[in-house]
Amino acid sequence: MIDQDDKGAVKSEAHTDDYDSPWKEAVEHYFSAFMAFYFPEAFIEIDWSKEQVFLDQELQAVVRDAELGKRFVDKLIRVSLLNGDEKWIYIHIEVQGTKQAEFAKRMFVYNYRLFDRYDRPVASMAVLADEQAYWKPDSYGFEVLGCKHRLEFPIAKLTDYHDQLDKLLEADNVFAVITATHILTQRTRKNDAERYQAKQLLIRLLYQRNWEKQKVIDLFYVIDWMMRLPEAMEQQLWQEIETIEESKKMQYVTSVEKIGIAKGRQEGRQEGRQEGKQEGLLEGEAKMLSVMLKHRFGDLPEATHNKLTRSSEEQLKKWLISAITATTLDAVFSDELTH
């Protein structure tokens, strides 16, 4: 039975929307699109013919003892510039999901620590994904006894796009779709029926793009992960997706890989709710990945099952992303070999 309020609107189940996981993966996989969409002036100065190197481990080493509040997403990337003045520079990206008093100070501290570590220019930039339209911190510093020290950094504020939703849905940039998804996820937090319609719209729009299959799958993952729905609605949506694919004679998100993710996530959520504890949530995440891997590579060795049950939630999510495109079971866990 669908639960309704006294005005007839379908009420949302109690579930927590997950923003940071899809944002992290999207920034890394589509970094040039991220820069082009949010920071176009910086985008045109970067030499995109040169490799961009992500340095997440190095970033954590630099800021580990300078924690100033929870980070939503943070990335450190080494890039080359077109002007040739510097062989390379570092870009520090923060995506901040909530209003936070010490956010600007954190940007300041991380910037000078990174400069001290690498002795290279560091460009700090922030995407503010919170819902407080007036909150736009873009600088931090101090002045004492004639000494001035200040950092000013460019920001992109997602609430500024709220009245541009139609343009976002038409734009040919993956981060236009991600921005629209983020906004619609926030808007529909308390109404599953509205969220269902929004999610259906976003997925239909993916099929109208002339994008390569992998990009469509990646964006479906972002939409699916952000816009959580009750299981019955998820199943109904899957049926509609299959109908769309049949009519367009294309098969994208209903591949074995994506079915495995959907089924595994449903089992994981159910198990986590039943346990009501962090241990139960981790077991659910592990089961989700196990289902995915079994769909792709067949029965799993006992060692793999043991690895999944001992791992953290963050590590499990990283392996889940790897499992989408990996060609072998060993390739899913290849990140362990590089750390």
Which domains are delineated in the chain? 40-153 (3.30.300), 208-338 (no CATH)
Residue 230 or 287, more confident: 230
- Return the pLDDT at 4: 46
With contact defined as beta carbons under 8 Å apart, do 28 and 73 qualify? no
- What residues contact residue 286 under an 8 Å CB cut-off, 6+ apart? 268, 308, 309, 311, 316
- Return the pLDDT at 244: 75
- Return the pLDDT at 324: 62
| pLDDT tens, position by position, 40-71 | 999 999 999 998 999 888 887 776 655 555 55
Q: What percent of the chain has pLDDT over 90?
A: 31
| pLDDT tens, position by position, 118-131 | 898 999 999 999 89
| pLDDT tens, position by position, 280-300 | 556 666 776 776 677 667 778
- Return the pLDDT at 246: 74
SS (H, E, C) the chain: CCCECCCCCECCCCCCCCCHHHHHHHHHHCHHHHHHHHCHHHHCCECCCCCCEECHHHHHHHHHHHCCCCCCEEEEEEECECCCCCCCEEEEEEEECCCCCCHHHHHHHHHHHHHHHHCCCEEEEEEECCCCCCCCCCEEEEEECCEEEEEECCEEEHHHHHHHHHHHHHCCCHHHHHHHHHHHHHHCCCCHHHHHHHHHHHHHHHHHCCCCHHHHHHHHHHHHHHCCCCHHHHHHHHHHHHHHHHHHCCCCCCCHHHHHHHHHHHHHHHHHHHHCCHHHHHHHHHHHHHHHHHHHHCCCCHHHHHHHHHCCHHHHHHHHHHHHHCCCHHHHCCHHHHC
Task: Indicate left, alpha or beta for 8 from its phi (over 0: left) and psi (-120 to 50: alpha).
Answer: left
Q: What is the CA radius of gyration of the chain?
A: 21
Measured in whole angstroms, the distance separating CA 155 from the mean position of its chain's CA atoms is 18
Cα–Cα dist 188/66, whole Å: 35
Segment among 2-6, 98-102, 293-297 with least mean pLDDT: 2-6
Report residue 235's pLDDT band, with 50, 70 and 90 as the boundaries: confident
The model carries a pTM of 0.69
Q: Which amino acid type is present at position 273?
A: R
Q: Which amino acid type is present at position 213?
A: K
User: Mean of the pLDDT values across residues 67-76?
Assistant: 66
Which of 143, 44, 151, 49 has its CA nearest to residue 92?
A: 151
- Does 337 score more than 50 pLDDT? no
Q: What is the mean pLDDT of the chain?
A: 79
Which of 213, 215, 214 has its CA nearest to residue 176?
A: 215
First to last CA, the chain: 49
